[in-house]
Amino acid sequence: MVLESTIVCVDNSDYMRNGDFIPTRLQAQQDAVNLICHSKTRSNPENNVGLLTLASCEVLLTLTADVGRVLTKLHQVQPKGSMRFLNGIRIAHLALKHRQGKNHKMRIVVFVGSPIEEDEKELVKAAKRLKKEKVNVDIVNFGEENANTEKLTALVNALNGKEGTSSHLVTVPPGPVLSDALLSSPIFVGEDGATAVPGMGSGGYEFGVDPNEDPELALALRVSMEEQRARQEEDARKAAVDSAAEGTVTPAATNEEALLEQAIAMSMNPDGSSVDPTPVASDPTMLTEEEQIALAMQMSLQNSASSTAQNTPAPMETDDLGLAGAEKQEEEEDYSEVMNDPEFLQSVIENLPGVDPQSEAVRSAMGSLTKKDDSKKDNNEKDK
């Protein structure tokens, strides 16, 4: 980006009242100056812009980076008198000599909308002096292009010399908007073809191509853009479908995992005791660190309990049927002795609530039990 200090010379002669540029030459010139000031400051934040009038040859604003101040002074300009072209150029050159950044290149942008009174020889002489001082000049010729084009062309040729291209002349005929006509001019477009005003390159046309000049290229660019947009929409739609499918499969898998873990927990409790009321998380990664530790301890305790139960030796089966029969007989004798004990039965009946031990029904029941036990004893004695 080029460091540059620029003085903008505006034509505020009485010719600026004409309406061949909408709405007037003066207001069309103000819009163009606005674009130029913004392009200079945006191309490099250290660039400076100043403002000068050609009718009164008055410096309205010295070099500054504040475009707002430039526009404020610009809108205060009113048409009066006639233009003094060379005097304005000399004063602009003097203002550039007093710039703060001595490493800045010097440029003068002149708007010419009224007839130039100076002859061509004086203009060429002034141009050679400016070239010697390394001052570049951009001229916007509008409104009176038939009278001024020849003189201004000679001026710019003298500034550029045989091989120079740093100074430019832009002639705008009546009809189009002055600011739009300047957007594609060398004043705005740099050597690389890029404009200094963002979003306004190549005359503001879509894709930077004028469809009137090259309709086939403009159509090809538009079709390519539409195809790219369609591909992006298709990719977005596929991504949405895939994410929805993943969202439907994940809950089912989570439920299966939860059921499996519940079944494992129930199998770890073969005695039918209730499982720990703490819910088993379907996704352990969703638990906090403390909950994961608690869950691991719970599962380890359950595993140790189940392994202990499995490792306990089962009682060995024996074929000693006589020993089993003897144990069974002893148990029956123990029960028979208890049932034959009247005192024990009497104490049990007395402790039962709502039972009267002295009633006839209770006495008859106890008597029948004692008789049955006596008969069993007799039979056993006979068998022996």
Which residues, other chains included, contact 106 with Cβ-Cβ below 8 Å and sequence gap of 6+? 4, 5, 93, 96, 99, 133, 134, 135, 136
More reliable by pLDDT, 275 or 137:
137
Q: How many CA atoms lie within 13 A of 133 on its CB side?
A: 20
Query: Does 318 score more than 60 pLDDT?
Result: no
Distance between CA atoms of residues 114 and 181, nearest Å: 19
How large is the average pLDDT for residues 19-46?
89
H/E stretch holding 136:
strand 135-142
What does the buried/exposed string (b/e) look like for 277-287 if buried means 16 or more CB atoms within 10 Å of the residue's CB? Answer: eeebbbeeeee
pLDDT band at 321 (very low <50, low <70, confident <90, very high): very low
Query: Does 252 score more than 50 pLDDT?
Result: no
What's the pLDDT score for residue 178? Answer: 87
What's the pLDDT score for residue 186? Answer: 86
Which residues, other chains included, contact 151 with Cβ-Cβ below 8 Å and sequence gap of 6+? 116, 118, 119, 120, 123
More reliable by pLDDT, 175 or 133:
133
Neighbouring CB atoms inside 10 A of 264's CB total 13
Which residues, other chains included, contact 335 with Cβ-Cβ below 8 Å and sequence gap of 6+? none
List residues bridging with 59 in a β-sheet.
52
What's the pLDDT score for residue 194? Answer: 46
How far lies 363's CA from each of 157, 341, 346, 359, in Å?
148, 14, 10, 6
More reliable by pLDDT, 252 or 120:
120
Query: Does 182 score more than 90 pLDDT?
Result: no
How large is the average pLDDT for residues 12-38?
90
How far lies 13's CA from each of 53, 112, 151, 197, in Å?
9, 10, 19, 29
What's the pLDDT score for residue 279? Answer: 47
Backbone angles phi, psi at 83, to 5 degrees: -85, 140
Return the closest-CA partner of residue 134 out of 110, 166, 95: 166
The answer to pTM > 0.95 is no
Helical residues (DSSP H) of 212-320, grouped into ranges: 215-267, 289-311
Return the closest-CA partner of residue 117 out of 158, 156, 164, 81: 81
How large is the average pLDDT for residues 67-89?
92
Structure tokens at 1: 């980006």
Which residues, other chains included, contact 282 with Cβ-Cβ below 8 Å and sequence gap of 6+? 254, 255, 257, 258, 261
Distance between CA atoms of residues 121 and 154, nearest Å: 9
Distance between CA atoms of residues 231 and 239, nearest Å: 12
Distance between CA atoms of residues 195 and 187, nearest Å: 9
Helical residues (DSSP H) of the chain, grouped into ranges: 25-43, 67-74, 85-97, 120-132, 145-160, 178-183, 215-267, 289-311, 321-340, 342-351, 360-383
